[in-house]
Amino acid sequence: MDHRELIVRPLLTEKGTHIKETENKYLFEVAVKANKIQIKRAIEEIFDVRVKKVATMNRLGKMKRVRIKAGRRPNWKKAIVTLAEGHTLEFFEGA
Amino acid sequence: MHVEVLQEPSWKRRIQIEVPADQVTREYEEISRRFQRTASLPGFRKGKVPRSLVQKSFAGRIRQEVVNRLLDDAYRNAIREADIDPISYPTIDKLEFNLGEPMTIHAVVEVKPEIEFVDYKGVKAVRPAAAITDDDLDQALENLRERQAQFRCVEGRTAQADDMVIVDQEAHDETGLKIPKGSGEDLAIPVGRRLTRPEFEEALIGAAAGDERKVQVDFPADADDPAFAGKNVTFTLFVKEVKLKELPDLDDDFASEMGDFGTVDDLRAAVHADLERHATQRAEESLRSQLVEILVERNPFDLPVAMVERYLDSVVESSAAQSRRDPREAASFDPDVVREQHREMAQKLIRKTLLFEAIQKLESIAVSEEDLDEHVAKIAELNNLPPRKMRVSLEKEGKLARLHDELLEEKTFGVLIALADVAETA
């Protein structure tokens, strides 16, 4: 899989901003099938940084209904990427 | 802040302002903080978006706000610092703004032209004579009698000039249709005084009570009244009464009826005084307008465009308001025409105002509180009010300022006339 397909988008959230500042961790939405090793490699190559650790979690899509029809948002995977000391992602300074 | 003022014509100023970089930055941070407080972006609670993200996502709006604020502040401070009293909104013709750099603003405003020298001494003018001749007096008394004229019904009289004829009138158009607007009962038509259409007067001369007269009038298509326009109307007049005009005799009875006058001589004296007062007033007005005319002519200066335009704005506004009340005028109302019609008058008026201001400065003419009080007291007396109450009510209506201006103008004219070379005509 291509790197660009693996990493879906960066997540800009309050919590994400907080752990970026305190622990040098960055949040991404990634492909559900991506594993930690692939993610590490992808981030290192796309942003030219050294990744120390990757944590992932599967997020279940929320149930949504329109009138009585039940629907469901797709499941997705979140990755918390910890960068090595001295590495940052300028990208996250703004959307 | 660095301010530089260039004088273009005497009524224009180019203000060049440089706002230092650190002030720009300070303002930028301040505005960002304000945006941050209310910003809401997905992923963040309201007001919790980090500053850097706010600055990136609202860059355009923040920039706009910063420019507005700085521009406003800088302009205000600049005109205060440079002691400029603008009479127009500023035109910004150069604006350079980059974060972290000084901001440059070039603003152009119009100001009252500074008039340092006014040639106003020894103006030659003529005060027309205000003498009242016996003829004038007689004419005035005659007019008084005329106004008190009585009309007396005379049996068998045929109408002559100066009579009043009472008629019932019916109007029909060429097809015989009655026009209600041209019909009526007991209409009083004065004869021989050119107050009605000549056709009517002609027809009524020689008519006696009980007579019937027909009058044909061809109304043009563009006649004022649409009920008649373009019609050939036949008016049928049934004469009911012919009344003779009787003027009251000029005697003591008449005098006492006209007011608190015991005799004809008292009345004459009062009328004479009244005429004289009016004549003096007219003479004074004529003298004043001559002075203004000469003053404006002798002292040419560049007139600021904005002042004239602003005055014309108010003229157009008030005549627009007037034409809204009158539907016939509304159709032909054209603001541009009104503008052009009044332009010359406006220019002269503003020239006069500016020259007067300059003269007031040169001659140190001012209206003191005592002057104002004195005048208010006079008005109070006319209105039967205690002076203090009068003053309060004038103030409330915003008339006190106008009174002040009137007095100032009065005083200025006084000085001008004293310094002028006034010839009296006999």
- pLDDT greater than 90 at residue A76: yes
- Which residues, in sequence order, are bridge partners of residue B91? B108
Residue B372: CATH number of its domain: 1.10.3120.10
Question: Does the structure show a pLDDT above 90 at B195?
Answer: no
Q: Does B347 touch chain A (CB under 8 A)?
A: no
Please say which residue of B60, B79, B110 terminates a domain.
B110
CATH number at residue B155: 3.10.50.40
Report yes or no: B41 at the A interface, CB cutoff 8 Å.
Answer: yes
B331-to-B324, B335, B336 alpha-carbon distances in Å? 9, 12, 14
pTM of the model: 0.56
The pLDDT of residue A79 is above 90? yes
Asked if B192 and B161 count as a contact pair (C-beta separation under 8 A), the reply is: yes
- In angstroms, rounded to a whole number, what is the distance separating the alpha carbons of residues A81 and A18? 14
Check A95 against B55: CB less than 8 A apart.
no
Contact A14 B57 (CB under 8 A): no
d(CA B111, CA B99): 32
- Copy the structure tokens of residue B32: 């960002």
In this predicted structure, the answer to whether residue A95 has a pLDDT above a threshold of 50 is no
Q: Is residue B140 part of a domain?
A: no
Average pLDDT across chain B, whole number: 80
Instruction: Report the residue of chain A nearest B59, measured CA to CA.
Output: A94
What percentage of chain A has pLDDT greater than the value 70? 94
B319 shares a domain with B407: yes
Beta carbons of A94 and B57 less than 8 Å apart: yes
Probe site for chain B from A17, A19, A28, A92 (most B CB atoms < 10 A):
A17
Using the predicted structure, report yes or no on whether residue B330 has a pLDDT greater than 70: no
Q: Which band of pLDDT confidence, cut at 50, 70 and 90, is reported for residue B56?
A: confident
**Mean of the pLDDT values across residues A14-32?**
90
- Is residue B33 over pLDDT 60? yes
pLDDT for res A92? 62
Q: Are residues B237 and B278 in the same domain?
A: no
- Whether residues B342 and B301 share a domain: the answer is yes
Residue where the block lists tokens 């300028």: A90
Domain that holds residue B105: 2-110
Mean pLDDT of A5-13: 88
What is the pLDDT confidence band of residue A77, given thresholds at 50, 70 and 90? Answer: very high
Tell me the chain A residues in contact with residue B57 when contact means C-beta distances shorter than 8 Å: 94-95
Measure the CA–CA gap between A32 and A4, rounded to whole angstroms: 14
Locate the DSSP E strands across B46-102. 91-96
Residues B273 and B392 in one domain: yes
Q: Is residue B252 part of a domain?
A: no
Q: Is residue B236 domain-shared with residue B380, that is, in the same domain?
A: no
The continuous run of DSSP H or E covering B349 comes out as helix B335-362
The Cα–Cα gap between B38 and B29 comes to 15
Boundary (domain end) residue, out of B219, B246, B273: B246
Q: How confident is the model at residue A31 (pLDDT cuts 50, 70, 90)?
A: very high
What pLDDT is stored for residue B329 in this prediction? 65
d(CA B151, CA B240): 14
pLDDT of residue A36: 93
Question: B165 lies in a domain?
Answer: yes
B52: CATH:
3.30.70.1050
Q: What is the pLDDT of residue A78?
A: 94
Residues of A with CB under 8 A from a CB of B: 11-14, 16-17, 93-95
Domain annotation for chain A: domains and CATH numbers: 3-84 (3.30.70.330)
Q: State which of A33-47, B230-244, B278-292 shows the largest mean pLDDT.
A: A33-47
DSSP state of A90: G
In a shared domain, residues B267 and B229: no
Domain boundary among B220, B246, B272: B246
B32 Cβ under 8 Å from any chain A Cβ: no
Residue B410 has pLDDT above 90, yes or no: no
Residue B102: inside a domain, yes or no? yes
What residue of B is the nearest CA neighbor of A18? B50
Is residue B123 assigned to a domain?
no
What's the structural domain count of chain B? 3
Q: B291 with B222, same domain?
A: no
